Each structure stands twice: as structure tokens, then as C-alpha cells.
Amino acid sequence: MLDRNVVREKPDRVRWAIETKGVDIADLDAIIEMDERWRELKAEGDDLRRQRNEISERIGELKRAGDEAEAEEAIKQSGTLKSQLDAVEEEADDLEERIRKQELLLPNIPHDDAPDGEDEADNVEVHRWGFDQIRELPEEIIPHYDLAEEMELIDFSRGAKVAGGGFQFLKGDGARLEYALLMFMLELHREEHGYHDIFPPIPVKSTAMQGTGQFPKFFVDDAFRIGGKNDEPYDDDDLWLLPTAEVPVTNMYAGEILLDEDLPLKHVAFSPNFRREAGEHGTQTRGYVRVHQFNKVELVNFVRPDESDKRHEGLVREAEEVLRRLGLPYRVIEICTGDMGTPHHRQFDLEVWAPADDMPDGPERGGRWLEVSSASNFTDFQARRAGLRYRPERHESAEYIHTLNASGIALPRAVVAIMEYYQNDDGTITIPEVLRPYMNGQEIIEGHDPVGESAVGAGRRD
């Protein structure tokens, strides 16, 4: 949500943000018009109420003095004022509610340095890492979805049987690789980047989804609703499966006032994430790349307003460090104004290199980019929605903090990159060194034998 004073004083900036982000459901003119009328009514209502307060006070005095006749007269007057007041306040309340609803649709204003652009084609590559000394790769790299099924590390078809398409079983060393990545990331952020661990609740209320900006409108179709269908109306405390730990963790201190010495607050959260990804099917999404349930380590920061730009840089570095330690080549891109999300002020994405499948937008040497992290500065946009404030000095009034977050990082695509980039000629997978302590010292993943009669059909008969 934007500061209403910004809407009043800099409508052109807001209009520009609406246009560049293409938020066509936001109606700025209607907001401005309603706000002007609301302020008129507010002044009128305050004045009527003042008159009524004066009369009410006099009634008390008259009653105490025993002057019943005068008191009756005053009570009558008070009644007249009340009906006038009711009419004015009803209109004002109605307007206020309509303004609030509209305000929730306004996008955040992009950072001045964010590249101006229309869509992802205008995103700007900031830098690449790891391409100078690439490890020796097999002639023909097997895509992770084939390799993982063959090695019995991921079971897509049985996942679909049990939970539907987009859900999968991780098995044996596949599951262990996922656990190892998880523990490695948590430990890196906690021990070296100063993060505090959080394990959040998985269901979140509609109000939490609104606090971070997923609701209303922007994410409803992609959310997993608990009880009820997505296209049906929802209440504030209806529950949804979290699409990212950003939602529960950012809303954790909703409606609270933090102390100056609490900041900056750095939380690292692990959670599964649930997304419907409606209609996303095809070669781009095959395998463990775009699924309905996936694990992610999320970094959430609360900072003082003047520190968010600097912290944003630090946040990108912290996410990058995960890929560097894993030895996975990647690039950082800055998202242009037209491609960034509604609540975003500035956004950098980390894309890891998955060398098996050549995709049109991939790097020159083949393979493709997979987004594994999105590092974002939301300024006070989420803080206003969720009511996240801090008190700069004990005696001063509270101010909205700035929120930032970054994936640190999404696990499935890291698994994909490892399966493809660390693939060997003999079809085994070398485990990145930093993960070995979390896998009992194991260095290589060789796969497992299939289970059941389907194994016979797969050509493994004796």
C-alpha cells in the first residue's frame, strides 16, 4: 500500500507506476476523487460531532442541576444533530471503505535506478559467475527428469498417482540431496550471515496474503485454498497453503511496533511452498522445475527505511553465496519496471545454469537459465498493509519499516542444476563438496534399483 500522502501529492508518479507495471485494475482518478470528497465529509462530520459533544456535556450538567425541562430541550437538539451526523458519517465510512479497497490495488513505485522496460526482454544482466572454469561435462548431458527417474531419485509418475500432476516423490539419495541442501543453506545463513531461524505455520489467513501483497487479486488464482474453491468469495480468516514463507514470516509481527534496537531483523525460514501454476505445462516446465509443492529457504529482512537500499545489495550477495559454495555457475539480472511484481520497488533475480536442455533464452554455450532466487525490496509497501512499524526513538511516534526478502534458495531447481552440472560420463552425479558433510561424507550419487513389477518392464529382467 502507498502512503496516502504520496497519492495526494505525487499522483503522476503513481500513475506512471500503474502504467509501467500494467496494473489495469487500479483506478487512480477514482481514488483521488473519493479522497477529496471524503476529506470534505470528514471536516463536516467532525464539526457536527463537536456540537453534539458540547450539548451532551450540557445535558449532564443540567441533569445534575435538576433542570429537567432544559435537559429535555437539549436532548431533542442532540437527536437532530445525531441524525445529521449519521448521514454524513455513513457516506464518509462508505467512501473510506471504497478508497481502502482501491488502494490495495495500487502498485509500489519502482526505484529510480530500476531499468525502464516493458517485459522480461528488457531485464538487464548484472553479472555472471562461474563460467570461467567450468567442470568437465559429459558429451551428452541427460536432462534431470530422465536421469532422476532412471536413477530412482525422483518419482514423478507415482507422485501424480497419489497427489496429482506437479507433485513428486523424492527417493533415497534424491531425498537426501534435498535434505543436505536444506541443512547447508540454513547453516550458511545462520552461522555466517547472522540469520535467526524460523519454521512458520504452513496455512496462512487471507489477511496475511493481503499483508504481503498476494491478495486481493494478484495471486488468488495460483493459491491453494484450504476448503472452498478459488473462484468463490473468501473471508479474512479463511486459510490458504503458503505460496512462500515470505507470507507467514513477513506477517509475523503484523500490527506490532518493533524497537529501534530490534533492527535490522534477519529471519531465515524453511517451508514447503504451494502454487497451482495454472496452465503451465510443456517442455519449459517439465520435471522438477515448476511443481505445485516445493521446498525453499527464504530470507526475510526488516530494516529501518533509510537502510533498505544497502540491505538489498547485501541480500543479493547472501543468496549468491549459496550458489558459489555449491560451485554452480549463475547470473544475476535486474528486473525492469514492467516485469517486476506489484509490491516491488526493486528486484534482482538469480538464475542458475542447467546445461542439459538448450532453450531459446539460454546462454550461448547451451543449456538454460533457471530462476532460483528473487531478491526484492518492497520499501514500506508491505509494512503499510501488514502494519509493521518501529519506534526510532522511545519518545517518537512509530514509523513503517521496510521489508525485503530473497530466496536463499529454492531447492528443486538447485537439485536440477546439480544433477545436470555435476553429471559424470558414467551417468553418476558428483555431490558438491559443501554438501558432503550433510550426506555422511558420500561423494557420488549412483542411483538405486527400481522397485516393483514396473522394473521388469523397464528392461531390468534377469
Partner RNA sequence: GCCAGGAUGGCCGAACGGUAAGGCGCACGCCUGGAAAGCGUGUUCCCAUACGGGAUUCUGGGUUCAAAUCCCAGUCCUGGCGCCA
Q: How far is the CB of 65 from RNA (least distance, A)?
A: 12
Whose CA is closest to 354, among 324, 330, 383?
330
Which of 43, 121 has the CB closer to RNA?
A: 43
Active site residue 413: yes
Active site residue 290: yes
Supply the DSSP string of 329-387, one letter for each residue: -EEEEEPPTTTS-TT-SEEEEEEEEE-SS--TTS-TTSSEEEEEEEEEE-TTHHHHHHT
Which of 57, 119 has the CB closer to RNA?
A: 57
Q: Is 254 near RNA (CB under 7 A)?
A: no
Q: How far is the CB of 249 from RNA (least distance, A)?
A: 18
**72-101 residues near RNA, rule: CB under 7 A:** 75, 78-79, 82
**232-251 residues near RNA, rule: CB under 7 A:** 237
> How many whole angstroms separate alpha carbon 272 and alpha carbon 260?
32
Distances (CA, A) of 93 to 9, 51, 87: 23, 20, 10
Which of 59, 104 has the CB closer to RNA?
A: 59
Which one of 9, 46, 150, 221 is in contact with RNA (CB under 7 A)?
46
**256-285 residues near RNA, rule: CB under 7 A:** 257
**190-209 residues near RNA, rule: CB under 7 A:** none
Residue 128 is classified by DSSP as E
Q: How far is the CB of 29 from RNA (least distance, A)?
A: 18
In the set 206, 308, 373, 374, the catalytic residue is 374
Q: How far is the CB of 290 from RNA (least distance, A)?
A: 32
Which one of 43, 175, 226, 456 is in contact with RNA (CB under 7 A)?
43
Supply the DSSP string of 209-264, one letter for each residue: HHHHT-TTTTSGGGSEESSS-TTS---TT-EEE-SSTHHHHHGGGTTEEEEGGG-S
Whose CA is closest to 335, among 323, 346, 324, 325?
346
Which one of 9, 57, 97, 146 is in contact with RNA (CB under 7 A)?
57
Which one of 18, 26, 31, 45 is in contact with RNA (CB under 7 A)?
45
In the set 275, 346, 384, 385, the catalytic residue is 275
Contact between 204 and 240 (Cβ < 8 Å): yes
Distances (CA, A) of 248 to 65, 105, 203: 58, 21, 8
Contact between 290 and 156 (Cβ < 8 Å): no
C-alpha cell at 223: 493459491
Q: How far is the CB of 204 from RNA (least distance, A)?
A: 13
Q: How far is the CB of 179 from RNA (least distance, A)?
A: 22
Q: Stretches 158-166, 246-254, 307-315, 387-395: which one binds RNA (CB under 7 A)? A: 387-395
Q: How far is the CB of 338 from RNA (least distance, A)?
A: 31
> How many whole angstroms separate alpha carbon 246 and alpha carbon 426?
40
Q: How many residues bind RNA (CB under 7 A)?
A: 28
Which of 60, 165 has the CB closer to RNA?
A: 60
C-alpha of 212 from chain center = 7
Q: Stretches 47-55, 191-199, 326-334, 425-433: which one binds RNA (CB under 7 A)? A: 47-55
**12-41 residues near RNA, rule: CB under 7 A:** 39
Active site residue 371: yes
Which of 66, 360 has the CB closer to RNA?
A: 66
Which one of 9, 25, 33, 50 is in contact with RNA (CB under 7 A)?
50
Q: Which residues lie below 8 Å from residue 406, measured CB to CB, with a gap of 6+?
A: 298, 299, 315, 316, 318, 319, 373, 374, 375, 376
> How many whole angstroms separate alpha carbon 452 and alpha carbon 77?
87
> How many whole angstroms separate alpha carbon 348 and alpha carbon 345?
11
In the block, residue with C-alpha cell 502498485: 107
In the set 44, 91, 371, 399, the catalytic residue is 371
Widest distance between CA atoms in the chain:
109
Contact between 17 and 11 (Cβ < 8 Å): no
Which one of 53, 80, 284, 454 is in contact with RNA (CB under 7 A)?
53
**394-423 residues near RNA, rule: CB under 7 A:** 394-395, 397-398
Which of 82, 324 has the CB closer to RNA?
A: 82
Which one of 60, 272, 427, 437 is in contact with RNA (CB under 7 A)?
60
φ, ψ for residue 149 (rounded to 5)?
A: -70, -45
Contact between 7 and 28 (Cβ < 8 Å): yes
Residues forming contacts to RNA in the complex (CB under 7 A) are 4, 39, 42-43, 45-47, 49-50, 53-54, 56-57, 59-60, 63, 75, 78-79, 82, 237, 257, 391, 393-395, 397-398
List active site positions: 275, 290, 371, 374, 413
